[in-house]
Amino acid sequence: MFEQERLLFDPVTPQQNAIPLVFAFPNTYTVGITSLGYQLVWAKFSQRSDVDVRRLFTDFNEKLPSSPEIVGFSFSWELDYTNLFDLLEKLNIPLRASARKDHHPIIFGGGSVLSANPEPYADFFDVILLGDGENLLDEFIDAYQDIRGGDRLAKLKRLAQVEGIYVPSLYDVTYRSPTAEIESIEPKLTDVPAAVYKQTYRGNVLSTSTVVTEKAAWENIYMVEVVRSCPEMCRFCLASYVTLPFRVANLEKSLIPAIERGLKVTDRLGLLGASVTQHPEFESLLDYLSQPQYSDVRLSIASVRTNTVTEKLAKTLAARDTRSITIAVESGSERLREIVNKKLTDDEITTAAVNAKAGGLKAIKFYGMAGIPGEEQTDIDATIDMMLTAKKAAPGLRLTLGCSTFVPKAHTPFQWFGVNKAAKKRLQLLQKKLRSQGIEFRPESYNWSVIQALLSRGDRRLSRLLELTREYGDTLGSYKRAFKDLKGQIPPLDFYVHQQWETDQVLPWQHLHTAIPKATILKHLEESGALPEKIS
C-alpha cells in the first residue's frame, strides 16, 4: 500500500529524541488515505524533526513504536467508534481515559465528528482538538514538549491552556437526575478555562493533498480546498455554523500553483469545499482549467450551488470527464427553503437542470431532506412536483433525488429540534411517487438517521451505551438492547433523538464555543419561523 504513494511534501528525518507518535484512522487504508484532513495532519507531523509519526489503519500500518507517547485519531464518521475501540485494544491501551496511567500515551482526537459534539466519545479521549489544524497542531506539540517529562495530570493541565484544546477529564458534568437533562458543566480546577474556544485559521492558503495513490477510494485524486465554510448559513448546517468564517483560497498565489503542482503527478483533480462555486473568482478558475494543456484532466467538484450551474460550468465539467453534478436543494417547497434559509427559487432549480443538459452533462443529483422543522405534507408534494418539473424541462437528463432525514446538529439554530418521526413515511411516499415516474430515488436509512441523531445530541452518559453496542454486534438492534440494559441509568432514546429541547437547557456542548455565540444562534432560530410554542 504505502510503496504506491506519491508524496507532495518532503518528510524530515526524526531527531534522536523525537516524540514517538501513532496517527490512526479508524477505518481501512483506502478510506483513510482519501481523507484530506488525515493527509494534512500526517504531513504536518512528518515535517517536524521532534516527532516520529507512524500511521495506523484497521487493515495496514507502518512499523509502530513499542512505547508511543501520543496516539491520535482522525474521526470523521460517527459509527467508526467501534474501530477506534479495536485499535486502542490493539495498542494495549485502556478504552477509558480514567483507566490510563502515567506510562500510557496521551490519546487525542480530531475531525468533523469531534468538532461538532465530542461528548458521547469524551470518556475515551485524553485530549480533543477543536478547530483548524494549521496552527493548532504545532501548538499542541509545542505544549506537550514543555511538559514532556511530567506526570499525566501535569501534561493534561498544560495542554488545556492552548486555545482549541479540550481536555474532557478536567470538566465535571452533573445531571438533574440520571435520566434527565444536564444541570451544569464546570472545570474541576481553577486554572482550567471554563469554556474552550475552537481555534480558527484565517489565512487564504487552504489545504491540498499531501499524497496521491491509486489505492485511495477516489483513485489517484489530487484534492484542492477551494473554500472553507459556507456563507449561506442554512439553519441546519454544521458546515456553516461550526467552520465559520467563510474563507477562500487566493487564486493566483494559492489555487493555481497548487493545481499545477498536483497535476504533475496525476490527471485527476478534485475541487473541495462546502460551496466551491461561490469562490469570488470561480469563473477565472474555470477559464484556467479550460486551457488546452488540461484537456486530459478529469475534474470533479464536491459541491455546486444551484444558482451557479451555468451552461459554461456544465461544458467545462463535461469536457473534463464529469458526467453528473450534485446540488443540495433541501426541499421543493419555497416555504420550507425560507425556513432553513436556503436562498433558492423554483426557477433556479429548473434552470440548473436545463443548463446541465445544455452543457453536455448526463445526469444531475438533487439532495434533499425529509422531516425538516416546520415541514408539512404539502412540502413533500412540492418536492415531487419540483422533480417532475425538472424532468419535463430537461428531457433525457437522468435525474436522481438523494434524500436524508433531518438530523439536529450541535451549534446550529435547529439543535433544539428532534427528529420528526413522520419522516420515515414521507421517505416512503417520495420513493413511491418518484420511481413510478422514472426518477431515481436514493433514501438514506431512517433508522440509521436516528442513531446519527443520538450521537449528534448525545452526552457523556452514552459512553457505556457505546461500549455495550459494540459488545452486542454494532447493529440497529444493539442500540435497543443497550438502552434496555441501561434503563434508569441514562435517559431513553427518545430524549436524545425525538424530544424538542428548551432553549435555556444546558446542552452537552455548552462549554465548547464556535464562531457564533448562542444569542445569535437563538436569533437565527427565531427568524426561521419554525419555533414551536413550547420552545420559547
Q: Is residue 480 part of a domain?
A: no
Rounded Cα gap, residues 437 and 114, in angstroms: 41
User: What integer is the mean pLDDT of 69-73?
Assistant: 98
Of the candidates 82, 85, 44, 51, which has an alpha carbon nearest to the alpha carbon of residue 68?
A: 51
Angle at 409 between CA 404 and CA 410, to 5 degrees: 175
- DSSP, residue by residue, 112-146: HHHHH--GGGGGG-SEEE-B-HHHHHHHHHHHHHH
The distance from CA 417 to its chain's CA centroid, rounded to whole angstroms, is 20
The pLDDT value given to residue 217? 94
Residue 170 sits in the same domain as residue 232: no
Q: Are 375 and 335 in contact (CB under 8 A)?
A: no
Q: Helices 476-485 & 462-471, crossing angle to 10 degrees? A: 130
Confidence check: pLDDT of 536 > 70: no
Q: Which three cell numbers stand for residue 249?
A: 483560497
Residue 177 sits in the same domain as residue 67: yes
Residue 171 sits in the same domain as residue 96: yes
The distance from CA 57 to its chain's CA centroid, rounded to whole angstroms, is 19
pLDDT band, residue 400 (cuts 50/70/90): very high
User: What integer is the mean pLDDT of 438-443?
Assistant: 96
Residue 121 sits in the same domain as residue 22: yes
Residue 112 sits in the same domain as residue 232: no
The pLDDT value given to residue 2? 76
Q: Is residue 495 part of a domain?
A: no
The pLDDT value given to residue 171? 98
Q: Which three cell numbers stand for residue 113?
A: 465528528
Residue 20 — φ and ψ, nearest 5°? -75, 115
Q: What is the mean pLDDT of the chain?
A: 95
The per-residue pLDDT for range 220-269, each reduced to its tens digit, is 999 999 999 999 999 999 988 999 999 999 999 999 999 999 999 999 99
The distance from CA 507 to its chain's CA centroid, rounded to whole angstroms, is 20
Longest dimension (CA), the chain: 70
Please state the domain count of the chain: 2
The per-residue pLDDT for range 457-469, each reduced to its tens digit, is 999 999 999 999 9
Name the domain boundary from 137, 164, 197. 197
Rounded Cα gap, residues 416 and 410, in angstroms: 9
Of the candidates 226, 282, 281, 275, which has an alpha carbon nearest to the alpha carbon of residue 255?
A: 226
**What amino acid is encoded at 441 in this protein?**
F
Residue 509 sits in the same domain as residue 365: yes
The pLDDT value given to residue 3? 79
Name the domain boundary from 162, 197, 232. 197
User: What integer is the mean pLDDT of 500-507?
Assistant: 96
Q: Is residue 204 part of a domain?
A: no
Residue 321 sits in the same domain as residue 183: no
Buried b (16+ CB within 10 A) or exposed e, 17-28: ebbbbbbbbbbb
Rounded Cα gap, residues 214 and 30, in angstroms: 9
Domain of residue 406 covers 220-457+501-528
- CATH number of the domain that 39 lies in? 3.40.50
Confidence check: pLDDT of 352 > 70: yes
pLDDT band, residue 535 (cuts 50/70/90): very low
**What amino acid is encoded at 91 in this protein?**
L
Q: Is residue 193 part of a domain?
A: yes
The pLDDT value given to residue 99? 98
The per-residue pLDDT for range 31-65, each reduced to its tens digit, is 999 999 999 999 999 999 999 999 999 999 999 99
The per-residue pLDDT for range 145-195, each reduced to its tens digit, is 999 999 999 999 999 999 999 999 999 999 999 999 999 999 999 999 999
The distance from CA 93 to its chain's CA centroid, rounded to whole angstroms, is 26
Q: Is residue 374 part of a domain?
A: yes
User: What integer is the mean pLDDT of 297-307?
Assistant: 90
Q: Is residue 147 part of a domain?
A: yes
The pLDDT value given to residue 239? 86
Confidence check: pLDDT of 357 > 50: yes
Residue 288 sits in the same domain as residue 377: yes
The pLDDT value given to residue 532? 58
Residue 159 sits in the same domain as residue 277: no
- CATH number of the domain that 349 lies in? 3.80.30.20
Q: Is residue 477 part of a domain?
A: no
Residue 185 sits in the same domain as residue 251: no
Residue 271 sits in the same domain as residue 149: no
Of the candidates 406, 487, 523, 399, which has an alpha carbon nearest to the alpha carbon of residue 178?
A: 487
The label of the residue with cell 483513485 reads 219
Rounded Cα gap, residues 214 and 6, in angstroms: 9
The pLDDT value given to residue 149? 93
Of the candidates 165, 173, 77, which has an alpha carbon nearest to the alpha carbon of residue 125?
A: 165
Q: Is residue 469 part of a domain?
A: no
Name the domain boundary from 197, 229, 247. 197
Contacts of 117 (CB under 8 A, 6+ apart): 410, 455, 456, 457, 458, 508, 509
Q: Which three cell numbers stand for residue 225?
A: 480546498
User: What integer is the mean pLDDT of 389-399?
Assistant: 97
Give me the residues paired with residue 144 across strands.
none
**What amino acid is encoded at 36 in this protein?**
L
pLDDT band, residue 306 (cuts 50/70/90): very high
Residue 298 sits in the same domain as residue 358: yes
Rounded Cα gap, residues 288 and 28, in angstroms: 36
pTM: 0.95
Rounded Cα gap, residues 512 and 198, in angstroms: 7
Of the candidates 249, 265, 262, which has an alpha carbon nearest to the alpha carbon of residue 134?
A: 249
